[in-house]
Amino acid sequence: MALLNLRFEPITADTLATAYALKRATVVDNTGDAAWLARILPNRDAYARYVAHCQALGPAAAVLVYDGDTLVGNVDVGAYRPDPTVGYMFNIYITPAARGRGLGALLDDYAHQTLGAWGFRHLRLRTFGANTATRRFYDARGYTFLENAELGMVVLGREIRAPAANT
């Protein structure tokens, strides 16, 4: 099934519960470990603070992604905490039913365009080192391994191309 009517909606107070449920599904889907989520985002209030941190740059930094009226994923970006001159992709998640349709590339492009428009020229992200499908995806998109991180994660990075000038 092709993506027909893709739209990006900033997470708001009205959609926070939906976004948090999706985040919980993301973590369980990627780790198989619901306890892992309790360590990083133990409740909806902690998630609201996370969204506010992302959206400090603008509402486009934490969005839910819909195909028509169907929620198909989300993407969260912001500044990299150890080096705020570097953009950071906190999360890309695609619902199982929406996978295999090129949405991952579109969300990655969204992250690059959003961060690039805010002046970032480098992007970092973390992913689980054992998640070979995700690693293959990011390798094919030009990301390189930068370092090992805690909890079996790895840090990957890529240069952000400057936005095209309007002519």
Q: How far is CA 167 from CA 113, 115, 164, in A?
A: 18, 21, 9
Residue in the structure block whose two tokens are 């936005």: 163
Residue in the structure block whose two tokens are 């309790």: 38
pTM higher than 0.85: yes
Q: What is the pLDDT of residues 128-164, one digit of tens each?
A: 888 888 899 999 999 999 999 987 889 999 999 866 5
Q: Name the residue ranges covered by the structural domains of the chain.
A: 6-121
Structure tokens at 62: 């934490």
- The dotted CATH code for 6-121 is 3.40.630.30
Q: What is the pLDDT of residues 18-38, one digit of tens each?
A: 998 888 877 777 666 667 667
